[in-house]
Amino acid sequence: METRSTFSTATRTLSASSLRERLTSISTLTTAPLRPLPRIHANIDFVPAKIPRRRRLQTLAVAIWSTMIAITTFLFLVLASFPPLWPVLAWYMLWVLYVDHSPEKGGRISPWFRSIKFWKYFSDYYPASFLKTCDLPADRPYVFGYHPHGIIGMGAMCTFATEGFSEAFPGIVPHLLTLTSNFRVPFYRDVLLAMGVCSVSRQSCSNILNGGPGQSITIVVGGAAESLSAHPGTADLTLRKRLGFIKVAIQHGADLVPVFSFGENDIYEQMPNEKGTTVYTLQKKFQNVFGFTLPLFHGRGLLNYNLGLLPYRRRIVAVIGRPIPVEKCEKPTLDEVRRVQERYIEELMWIWHTYKDQFARTRRRELNIVE
């Protein structure tokens, strides 16, 4: 009994001594303050709590427009969940598919809708503006070529789909053109039509320009192929192979006006996709199958500055160049089309060299026409 007691006492003494040594060693350690878990894993730059109401409204306007297709589709599905509305919705869809040809015939532009305050908040978010280099008389039709395409073309919306353009160029009716497929989305198509947006089909271009003096169309020339080159600080244009819009201008005797949008490529970050990479190859195959492509990009979010699908707050300035007069010819030759294209490119380069040091100070390289 005595031996067992002695062993037990020694064990307790040894344990207490070991515990004191460990506590002493722990007390000498230095610890760094803990950081919030999201910052450790994603380094997210969250929006401060105190932000001016005006800036919040600007962000909200951009968020609404960026998700407008999803919003209008969801609204249509919600309405379709009420059986009493089925006859109305069925009539609407029949009207959209078989009766209403507004996207091909100049749309139904609404000056009131184009001038509501929502679009001012939308434009002031970046901010987006345009610079006119000369007056454009309203005694002839016009074809505006917009460059670069960017990821989505937000600057084109701000410039040609709001009443700011109509105030700067009185008498000229702007029609920004987009894919015909956009007009198959319920309700979204009606928003586009109210903004003066129409189909980019050849028939649509002809119908608008045949409307007489003052009618104009704006074509984002580079299309889906150019969106893959939309990286901040660069301006790689897909233009040499784009002859269709020049031919349309010649056939209708419409003056060509180049527009270069400084900052359009800066509002999103895109995954590296140089030619030869796997990402580029997959994107081109997708484009060949579906007719459009999906750039892998990111921007900011509603509550943070560096993670999400909203565009960054970076200035966009669309410089509207000087008009290039063309002689009307219903069947222009390829040589004539190329001659006009060279004049168009010269004017576009003039815009770049004149304003690049003012609006593109952070450029990584000069304007480049890649194809």
Q: Which helix (H) or strand (E) holds 290?
A: helix 278-290
**What SS3 class is residue 160?**
helix
Residue with tokens 């031996």: 3
Taking the CA atoms of residue 273, residue 278, residue 279 and residue 282 in that order, the dihedral angle to the nearest 10 degrees is 130
Per-residue pLDDT of the chain (371 residues; tens, 9 = 90+): 444 444 344 444 444 455 455 445 444 444 444 444 444 445 888 889 889 999 999 999 999 999 999 999 999 999 999 999 999 999 999 999 999 999 999 999 999 999 999 999 999 999 999 999 999 999 999 999 999 999 989 999 999 999 889 899 999 999 999 999 899 999 999 999 999 999 999 999 999 999 989 999 999 999 878 888 899 999 999 999 999 999 999 999 999 999 999 999 999 999 888 777 888 888 778 877 776 677 888 899 999 998 899 999 999 999 999 999 999 999 999 999 999 999 999 999 999 999 999 999 999 999 999 88
Neighbours of 53 (CB within 10 A): 7
Determine the pLDDT at residue 297: 87
Residue for token digits 């509002």?
Answer: 267
Nearest partner of 104 among 11, 211, 13, judged by Cα: 211
What is the DSSP track for 173-202?
Answer: B--BEE-GGGGGSTTHHHHHHHTT-EE-SH
**How many C-beta atoms surround the C-beta of residue 45 within 10 A?**
12
pLDDT at 20: 52
Question: How many CA within 13 A on the CB side of residue 50?
Answer: 0
CA angle 175, 180, 181 (to 5 degrees): 135
Position 367 scores a pLDDT of 95
**What's the Cα-to-Cα distance from 99 to each of 96, 102, 131, rounded to whole Å?**
6, 9, 39
- Residue 359: the pLDDT is 96
